[in-house]
Amino acid sequence: MIPVPLLVFVMGAWCAVYLADTLLKSSVTHRIRYESWLASRGLMLSPFHLRWQTTMFNRLFAYCARINPRAQYLWFNSGLVFGIIAMVGSVVLLAKTLQQTLAQMTTDNPRMGSQQTLQVVIPGVNLPTSQLAYFFSALMLSGVIHELGHAVAALREQVRVNGFGMFVFVVYPGAFVDLFTTHLNIISPTQQLRIFCAGVWHNFVLCVAALAFLFLLPIFLFPVYSTGGGAMVTEVVQGAAADGPRGLSVGDIVTGLEDCAVRGVEDWSSCLSHISHTPQTGYCVPSTSLQPSWAHGRAFKRLDGTMDCCSNNSLTDLCFSYMKPQSKSSREREYACMPVRKMVTGTQVCRVDDNCATAHSTAASICVTPSLENQTRFIRVTHPPNTHMLFVGYPPHLQYAVSLTNFIPRFGFLHLDLPVFLETFCKYVVSLSGALAVVNSVPCFALDGQWMLNALLEATLVTVVTDRQKRELIGFFLLLAGSALLAANVALGLWMVTAR
Phi first, then psi: what are they for 70, rounded to 5°? -65, -45
Which residues does 439 contact at the CB level (< 8 Å), separation at least 6? 90, 447, 486
Query: Could you tell me which residues come within 8 angstroms of residue 319 by beta carbon, excluding any fewer than 6 positions away?
Result: 297, 299, 307, 308, 309, 310, 335, 336, 337, 370, 371
Exposure string of 363-398, with b = 16+ CB inside 10 Å and e = fewer, is: eebbbbbbbbeeeebbbbbbbeeeebbbbebebebb
CB 401 within 8 A of CB 233: no
- Check 35, 147, 235, 458 and give the catalytic one: 147
The DSSP secondary structure of 249-318, one letter per residue, reads: -TT-EE-EETTEE-SSHHHHHHHHHHHHTSPPPEEEEEGGG--GGGT----EE-TTS-EE---S--SSEE
Please confirm, yes or no, whether 334 is among the known catalytic residues. Answer: no
- Per DSSP, the residues of 150-218 read HHHHHHHTT--EEEEEEEEETTEEEEEEEE-HHHHHHS-HHHHHHHHHHHHHHHHHHHHHHHHHHHHHH
| Amino acid identity, position 278 | T
Distance CA 168, CA 45 (A): 10
DSSP state of 85: H
- Is the distance from CB of 377 to CB of 395 less than 8 angstroms? yes
**Rounded CA gap, 211 and 423, in Å?**
10
Residue numbers annotated as active site:
147
